[in-house]
Amino acid sequence: MKAAILSADEMRRALTRIAHEILERNKGAEHLALIGVHTRGIPLAQRLAAKLRELEGVEVPLGRLDITLYRDDLSEIARQPIIRETEVPFDLARRRVVLVDDVLYTGRTVRAALDALIDLGRPEGIQLAVLIDRGHRELPIRADYVGKNLPTARSEVVKVKLAETDGLDSVELWDLDDVRGEQA
């Protein structure tokens, strides 16, 4: 590991701040919905929903989105990605949807998520919340809510670990070569 970026406490505080910003910008939680992008966007959306419940006493509808079938490189890639479940159990019409993901990088995942979401219905608006914005956008996409802006090199990897998926909360910066070495 090259650097520890966020501890569990810092992550909690970042999410609390995002929850406040969501409420402020949308003037409350009415007509809001949170949709997490597989994989780590889902627990992050759940945590934000819990914070909104804590702050406003409202239950914001939650959904999960898998973007595999919307990837723009799908017919070219060598490995077949596993398709996970998309579940949006509410009507998107007249909802302001906050799309939640862990890391914003090239913007291609978000583009795919926007396409996938719009095929499910026509929300009143879509906003984007990410825990880490690491830069290097390849598309004109920016986040509305950012836990931490983290300038990175393309040769680096941001590892977000969450208690729900990885057993602990942390954000770490790694060198790509070290990650490959670890996986080999």
Partner 1 sequence: MTGPKPKHLLDFQDWSPERLSALLDNADTMSQVLDRPVKKVPALQGLTVCTAFFENSTRTRVSFELAARRMSADVVSFAAGASSVSKGESIRDTIEVLTAYKVDAFVVRHAAAGAAHLVARYSGKPVINAGDGRRAHPTQALLDAYTIRREFGSLEGKKVAIIGDVRHSRVARSNAELLPKLGAEVVLCGPATLLPRDLAAAGVTLTTDPKEALRNADAVMALRLQQERMDAGYIGSLQDYARQYQVNDDLLAFAPEHAIVLHPGPMNRDVEISSQVADGPRSRILAQVENGQAVRMSTLYHLLVGRQ
Residues at the site binding partner 1, with contacts judged by CB under 8 A: 66, 68-71, 74-75, 77-83, 85-86, 115-116, 119-121
Residue 3 contacts residue 178 (beta carbons within 8 Å):
no
Nearer to partner 1, 115 or 172 (CB): 115
Nearer to partner 1, 38 or 96 (CB): 38
In the numeric block, which tokens belong to residue 95?
């909802």
CB 102 → partner 1: shortest distance, Å?
22
CB 126 → partner 1: shortest distance, Å?
16
Q: What is the rounded CA–CA span in Å between residue 154 and residue 82?
A: 25
CB 72 → partner 1: shortest distance, Å?
8
Q: What is the rounded CA–CA span in Å between residue 30 and residue 95?
A: 9
Residue 100 contacts residue 45 (beta carbons within 8 Å):
yes
CB 59 → partner 1: shortest distance, Å?
24
How far, rounded to the nearest angstrom, does the alpha carbon of residue 75 sit from its chain's CA centroid? 24
Residues paired with 135 in a beta bridge: none
Nearer to partner 1, 61 or 121 (CB): 121
Nearer to partner 1, 16 or 39 (CB): 39
